[in-house]
Amino acid sequence: MTAIIQTSSGLKSYLDGKGEFEVIAGRTVFDTLVDLNIKPELIALVVVAGEQKSKDYVIQENDIVKVMAVIGGG
């Protein structure tokens, strides 16, 4: 029961350069981010299979969950 969390490149600068994490399915994106020591409030966008999801989305098996932090603004 695993899934993948992919982080945007800007966020990687806060994560020692790491951009991809294998995680346990069945938990929310929010809780999973906390587990990974990523502050959920940094995340502007959660996308699974091309669809935008909320941070309350429960991660499913084999999901690739893309989480995007906006680092640069306009």
Nearer to other proteins, 18 or 26 (CB): 18
Residues in contact with other proteins by the rule CB under 8 A: 6, 8-10, 12, 14, 19, 39, 41-45, 47, 50, 52, 66, 68-74
Nearer to other proteins, 13 or 26 (CB): 13
Concatenating the DSSP letter of every residue in 5-66 gives EEE-HHHHTTTTT--EEEEETTSBHHHHHHHTT--GGGEEEEEETTEEE-TTPBPPTT-EEE
Nearer to other proteins, 29 or 43 (CB): 43
